[in-house]
Amino acid sequence: MKFDPSKIWSEYPVVAFDTETSGPYPIESEIIELGAVKWFNGEIVGKFQTLLKPSSELQPDNIRIHSITNEMVSDAPLMNSQILNFCEFIDNSILIAHHAPFDIGFLTLDIERAGLNFPNCYLLCTSLISRALLPTSNHKLQTMIKELKLIGGDAHRAYDDAYACFQVFQKSCEKLNESATLEKLSAVQIKKIAWDNYKILSSSDHKLKSFARAAALKKTIQIVYPAGSTKSKPRTVTVFGIVRNPDGDYIHALCGIDNSRKRFYLNKITDYDVVN
C-alpha cells in the first residue's frame, strides 16, 4: 500500500499502540508490554495485547509507574516470539502513539534485533498533534483522558493507553473537519517521525553504532564534550542507553568525573574512544 498524503486519514486503517518498558532508555531497558487497537471503516477491527518477559528483573521505581510486577511477566513470552506478529498487525496502517518518539524508539530497536523489515506505516504522534489542536491544561495522556472525558481504563497499561491515544487522535481530527488529510496532520505535527530516524543497530551513523555497541557490551568510552566544568577535556563514560529524538540524539551515561548519570548529545561529542 502507498499512502496518499492528500487523502483523509479515515480512508486508511489506523493502529494506536503503546508500550510499557522496564526503564526509559533503549538498550538498557526493554518493552515489557505491548498494546494496540486497530480501527477501520468506523469500527475497531483488531486488538493486540501481550506482556513480555524482560532479560532482567524489574526494579521497584519502574513497577510503581505501570504496576507490572516480576511475577506478572515471569511466564510471559519473549519479545522475539511476538515482534513478527506485531509487525504484521501494524503493517499498511497509520501508526500512532502518544509521545511516539519514545514508543517508536523502543519498537525500532526490537525490529532491528529480529532482522525484520520495517512495516509499511504512516507514523504520527498524538501528543504533538493534540498540542496544536486541543486546548487542555497539559497534554499528558492521563490529563487529556480526564479533561476530554475519554474512556481511560487502567493508566499506564499498554492496551488501555493505546485506546485512549486513538480517542485523542479522533478528537484532534475532528478539529480539522474535512481537511484532516495525512498531509495536514503531518504539517500540524511539524516534527517528522519515520523509521529511519530511529534506527540504531542498522544506522549508517558510525558514532551512533559505536555507542550502541559500547552500551550493549557495557564498555567504557572516553569522550570529549564541550560542556560542564571540564569543557573539551576527556572524560570516561559508561553508556547505558541511546535515545534518538527529533530534538537531538543523546546517550544516557554514567559520567566518570562525578559518578552521576547524565545526558550527552551525540552532535556535541567532538571525539570518542573505547577504553575497555
The answer as to whether 107 is a domain residue is yes
Rounded to an integer, the average pLDDT of 2-22 is 97
Which pLDDT tens digit goes with each residue over 91-133?
999 999 999 999 999 999 999 999 999 999 999 999 999 999 9
Mean pLDDT of the residues in the chain: 94
The answer as to whether 1 is a domain residue is no
Specify whether the CB–CB gap between 134 and 150 falls below 8 A.
Answer: no
Domain span including residue 266: 206-274
The rounded distance, in Å, linking the Cα atoms of 16 and 47 is 10
Same domain, 189 and 248: no
Same domain, 73 and 136: yes
Which pLDDT tens digit goes with each residue over 13-53?
999 999 999 999 999 999 999 999 999 999 999 999 999 99
Q: Which three cell numbers stand for residue 213?
A: 555497541
The answer as to whether 2 is a domain residue is no
The dihedral sign for the CA sequence 42, 43, 45, 47: positive
pTM (2 d.p.): 0.95
Domain count for the chain, please give it: 2
Of 167, 198, 229, the residue that ends a domain is 198
Of 154, 169, 198, the residue that ends a domain is 198
Same domain, 134 and 258: no
Same domain, 79 and 189: yes
Of 198, 215, 233, the residue that ends a domain is 198
Specify whether the CB–CB gap between 54 and 22 falls below 8 A.
Answer: yes
The dihedral sign for the CA sequence 239, 17, 197, 142: negative
Same domain, 91 and 119: yes
